[in-house]
A and B are shown apart, each in its own frame.
Chain A
């Protein structure tokens, strides 16, 4: 069958195509066309030959089918321990099977693979911690998504998302001008409350280059203002780039490696252009993963690092609090039961669990912090990771997945959960909407602003 108008193996590369695909509300035609999408088995096998290397091969082969990964997977647990939700089964029945059949799979099979890769795995990497061999099925699913994307079997919203990065170098249709304009607008709005508040664009040799999530620009610009305010109060020499300002990567969720590369190269080129001492990202998990952890490999950087030392927002915040650049008024610390969402992408996958707890020690009145159970690197995915939050056709599965987090929150007895990650924040908001457990949730920035001491010379004069 010829490739569909909306569903095909070509990435979305122009604004026109993007708008057209967006116009297919809910991906109705897109999914209809997917039913007749051919699998290019030759391409599939060739790609596997080029990219499936020894680690993945070994992992697929040495799986002992011991089932220890089963209980580690929140989707297995929440789906009534369905054997088909055991991580080893999930990956063996998809990637394992494709390899066994040397790529000779059909449309139906690829539909099953798509559902498994995007609705039965959020790439949270928890299984990798429990497997005796250290086999990380989340990593393999990440790889598998790439194969699916190449074949055109990718959820509608993520095809669009990858297209957004290709066209705008951002996850939404936000241009560099809009980014700068919105940042400046926010600074104007808050100038009166914080005299001297400003944002400098493209300043060279600054101490901090700040990158964000395009959603903040579009829908939550207060977040930009809050970031500016905290940098301002901490006396930082900071700047934002007029291009390369987007840290997130829906392309990563989509498995569009070429777009992933393009996306991070934009950010790296901003780093090289402006030569900051460090890059600080906003409160987002996958953005950090994409740009700081995985990105260097996509961009072919042999030392596996971005051009400039890059840290997650929580690292900057902890440092600012530790060094006294930001001082907290003890009277205003959080005095209600509060817990912390350990986000997969920078806790389990980048070891920042103690950093976030250090921040907690400054901002929560002793005795009020309760841990989720399990926590730290053993915490469960929020339920919405890996793009799960945004995929319409897998909404029911995602809503079920939220129950895990819901129950963790209920069991903790907390009234407030701190979630320094856009995906986790969204997932918790959705679980509150769906299950109404009465939880409040927040990023770190607004909480810190509510209790930070403003240096005398920075107070507004009346």
Chain B
């Protein structure tokens, strides 16, 4: 089973995405901040990561910067899911950027496309 790491400080989003992904046959882990996210990523080595941008302590792009330095993690596809308009290119190498509220089918398609 493919693993997805969800990084978002909003528990509602985390619940929603967890349900969505698990219903579609994925294993999920959730992190509320960059520190947790790094720990989980190193431990579980997910196949895909969804990343929020503005979180209480460190912001999303810093997580991206950190995992880019790690051999095992640097190639994991990242989908940015954020509430901000204009966030499209905030993370250059993200495979996609979705603005909340996002279309679940669109998200699922992107996930499936990137996990072939």
Q: Do chains A and B touch in the complex (CB under 8 A)?
A: no
B-to-A contact residues, CB < 8 Å: none
A-to-B contact residues, CB < 8 Å: none
